[in-house]
Structure 1
Amino acid sequence: MDAAVDAAVSRTAPRLTQAAENRPGKGWLTNREAQDYLGLSKATLARYRSEGMLPYSKIGASVYYRLADVEGLLEASRV
């Protein structure tokens, strides 16, 4: 399982790093970036928000997640 997670993170991490570097508030992910990073559907990510599993910030209709919180969710889900 760790190998699969590491592989997914290594494929996604370069894109996330570039996206974070190109905007203010580094360390935050958009909803789409968080979906890609975690490999989750939009509905599942929305459920995680509503159940309090993943903290988020909302500005207008846009949802943002701290990269540290997203990585913390992965770490907490380790078996």
Structure 2
Amino acid sequence: MQVNILTKEDLNQFKTELIAEIKLLLSSGDHAVSNKPRWLRSSEVRKLMSISPGTLQNLRINGVLPYRKVGGIMFYAMEDIQKMMEGGKYNG
């Protein structure tokens, strides 16, 4: 089991990036934030794509769909899902 340790610098960098992204969203002229979530959990991806847990696992293992694991929960970027669906395979 791999353990990653977060430092204060990591948290400060995350905070800076988060604030910059929020400012960008608010200054974009369209003040309504999209209802579409940016990150989806495995269950949401399976429901969206109508696939089984095994199929989603195969997409992860084969590198077709990138994911991030946070505290044992896998998250998928909506952008990656859309790219994969449009192109047949994610090439990011």
TM interval, short-chain normalised: 0.5 to 0.7
Matched, 1:74 2:89: no
Query: What CA deviation, in whole Å up to 9, does each residue of 1:18-55 have, x standing for no partner?
Result: 7x3xxxxxx00000001011111001000100000000
Runs of 4+ in structure 1 off by over 4 angstroms are: none
Superposed CA RMSD in Å reads 1.7
User: Structure 1: which 5+ runs fail to align?
Assistant: 1-16, 21-26
* TM-score, normalisation: structure 1: 0.63
Distance 2:79 2:40 in 1: 10
Q: How many residues align?
A: 55
Q: Determine the structure 1 residue equivalent to 2:41.
A: 30
Consecutive unaligned residues of structure 2, counting only runs of 5 or more, are 1-34
Choose 1 or 2 for highest CA Rg: 2
Q: Flag the structure with higher helix content.
A: 1
Question: Does 1:54 pair with 2:65?
Answer: yes
Percent sequence identity is 29
> What is the TM-score of this pair, normalised by structure 2?
0.55
SS in 2 for 1:65: strand
